[in-house]
Amino acid sequence: MPTVIALDVSLSMSRPVPMPDTNEEYQRRHLAVQGINTLLDFISVNAVWNSQAWYERNIILIVSFSYLWERTVPFTRDHDSIKAALNKVELYNKTCLETALVGISTTVQEEWNNGVQCQVILVTDGSVGVGPGSLKHSLQTCSARESTESKFPLPFTFPCKLHVLCVANPNDPDLKTALPLYQQLINLNSQGGEVLVPEGPLSFRSVQDMFQKFAEKIYTPFHAQLQCGNFKCPVQLHPRPEPYSRDLEFESIQMKEIWNKLEIVGFLEIAEVASPPTVSRHLVLPTPTRDRSSKTENSDKEKKTEGGKTFTKGDEEEDGTEDGKVPSFAVLLHGSLKVESMVALARIGEDWFGMLYSWADSKKKSNLMLSIFEPGLCLENIPWLGNLENLCPVSAFETPPHLVEGGQPPFPVRPSEKRSYAQSCVVWIKAAGLQSDMQKVLRHARKLPDKQQQFYKEMNRIRRAALSFGFHELLEAMAAMLERECTQLPGTAHPSAALQLTHAANALRLPSALEIVHTIMPLQTNFTPGDR
- Name which residue leads in pLDDT, 33 or 410: 33
pLDDT of residue 432: 82
Third-level CATH fold of 3-219: Rossmann fold (3.40.50)
d(CA 214, CA 39): 8
Long-range contact set of residues 400-409: C-beta below 8 Å, sequence gap at least 24: 409/269, 409/271, 409/272
Identify the CA nearest to 532 among candidates 484, 481, 482, 498: 498
d(CA 384, CA 379): 12
Identify the CA nearest to 486 among candidates 502, 475, 474: 502
Kindly state the average pLDDT of the residues 392-420: 60
Kindly state the average pLDDT of the residues 156-163: 88
CATH of the domain spanning 221-246+254-289+327-416, picked from 3.50.50.60, 2.40.290.10, 2.30.130.10, 2.30.30.90 = 2.40.290.10
Q: Which of 52-56, 217-221, 435-439, 477-481 has the highest mean pLDDT?
A: 477-481
pTM: 0.63
Strand ranges in 289-402 using DSSP code E only, listed in sequence order: 303-306, 309-312, 342-349, 352-360, 366-372
pLDDT of residue 316: 38
Whether residue 415 has pLDDT greater than 80: no
Buried b (16+ CB within 10 A) or exposed e, 269-285: eeebbeebeebeebbbb
Buried b (16+ CB within 10 A) or exposed e, 160-185: bbbbbbbbbbbebeebeebbebbeeb
Kindly state the average pLDDT of the residues 32-56: 72
Kindly state the average pLDDT of the residues 397-426: 59
Coil, helix or strand at residue 193: coil
pLDDT of residue 156: 87
How does residue 248 score in pLDDT terms, banded at 50, 70 and 90? low
How does residue 456 score in pLDDT terms, banded at 50, 70 and 90? very high
Tens of pLDDT, residue by residue over 255-307, are 788 898 999 999 988 888 878 888 888 889 888 765 444 443 443 444 444 33
Within 190-224, residue ranges assigned H as helices are 204-218
**Angle ∠(67,196,112) on CA atoms, nearest 5:** 60
What is the overall mean pLDDT for the chain? 81
Tens of pLDDT, residue by residue over 204-230, are 999 999 999 999 888 888 889 999 989
Identify the CA nearest to 122 among candidates 202, 198, 63, 192: 63
pLDDT of residue 36: 94
Tens of pLDDT, residue by residue over 89-100, are 888 888 889 889
d(CA 449, CA 496): 7
Whether residue 47 has pLDDT greater than 70: no
Kindly state the average pLDDT of the residues 78-87: 90
Tens of pLDDT, residue by residue over 324-355, are 577 889 999 999 999 999 999 999 988 889 99
pLDDT of residue 162: 93
d(CA 412, CA 382): 9
> Are the C-beta atoms of residues 69 and 100 closer than 8 Å to each other?
yes
Coil, helix or strand at residue 374: coil
Residues in contact with 421: Cβ distance below 8 Å, sequence separation at least 6, in sequence order: none
